[in-house]
């Protein structure tokens, strides 16, 4: 995978396993750039979540892996890089599993967009955090998704939903501040 020369606001690169998967799938630069940005936001998100919610337990490594690989199915469905489509979500887990990714990690290729399905499937906090990173990088703040995260936090640590929402809101406000710069950088691919 050729280096993308990330902008100065990107603080972390793709993990080695994600880079290898990009190479194997011959992922287009636009897809690699997207995964880099979502992963970078996820790194910041999990750090801030750990700080804001000290009793909240989640698998950080799974969230970061999911953020770095969630859209890899688009390597086989490149039209979905620029237009709406769901084939990459439906087939993404199987694509990753064929490349040796365990099912518990390959699932993010499907679950990253499952928060908006009706009926709502059972999603973990990790699934929802990958979804948050995938929305936040571009400045999106879906209320439905945020409410699902708040409910997972409340179920795990107790307390009042408004308290958790207040903390999550502050985190997401910080994370979405660079959205215009991220979108501009993505635009070159």
Q: What are 168's two structure tokens? A: 């999550």
First-last CA distance in the chain = 15
Residue 9 has pLDDT above 90, yes or no: no
Report which of 61, 62, 56, 90 is spatially closest to residue 76, judged by C-alpha positions: 90
| pLDDT at position 3 | 58
Residue spans per domain, the chain: 16-186
Q: How much is the pTM?
A: 0.95
Residue 22 has pLDDT above 70, yes or no: yes
Summarize pLDDT for 77-88 with one digit per residue, the tens: 999 998 989 999
Rounded average pLDDT over 121-139: 97
| pLDDT at position 1 | 41
Task: Place 8 in a pLDDT band, splitting at 50, 70 and 90.
Answer: confident
Say what percent of the chain tops pLDDT 90.
88
Q: Do 106 and 97 form a contact (C-beta atoms < 8 A)?
A: yes
Q: Which CATH architecture has domain 16-186?
A: Orthogonal Bundle (1.10)
């Amino acid at each position: 995978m050729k280096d993308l020369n990330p902008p100065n606001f990107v603080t972390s690169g793709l993990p080695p396993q994600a880079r290898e998967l990009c190479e194997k799938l011959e992922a287009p630069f636009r897809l690699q750039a997207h995964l880099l940005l979502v992963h970078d936001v996820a790194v910041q998100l999990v750090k801030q979540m750990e700080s804001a919610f000290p009793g909240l337990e989640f698998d950080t490594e799974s969230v970061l892996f999911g953020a770095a690989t969630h859209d890899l199915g688009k390597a086989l469905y490149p039209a979905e890089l620029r237009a709406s489509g769901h084939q990459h979500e439906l087939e993404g887990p199987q694509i990753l599993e064929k490349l040796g990714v365990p099912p518990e990690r390959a699932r993010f290729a499907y679950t990253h967009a499952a928060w908006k399905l009706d009926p709502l499937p059972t999603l973990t906090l990790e699934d929802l955090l990958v979804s948050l990173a995938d929305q936040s990088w571009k400045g999106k703040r879906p209320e439905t998704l945020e409410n699902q995260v708040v409910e997972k936090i409340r179920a795990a640590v107790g307390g009042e939903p408004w308290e958790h929402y207040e903390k999550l809101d502050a985190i997401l406000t910080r994370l979405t501040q660079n959205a215009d710069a991220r979108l501009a950088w993505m635009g070159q691919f």
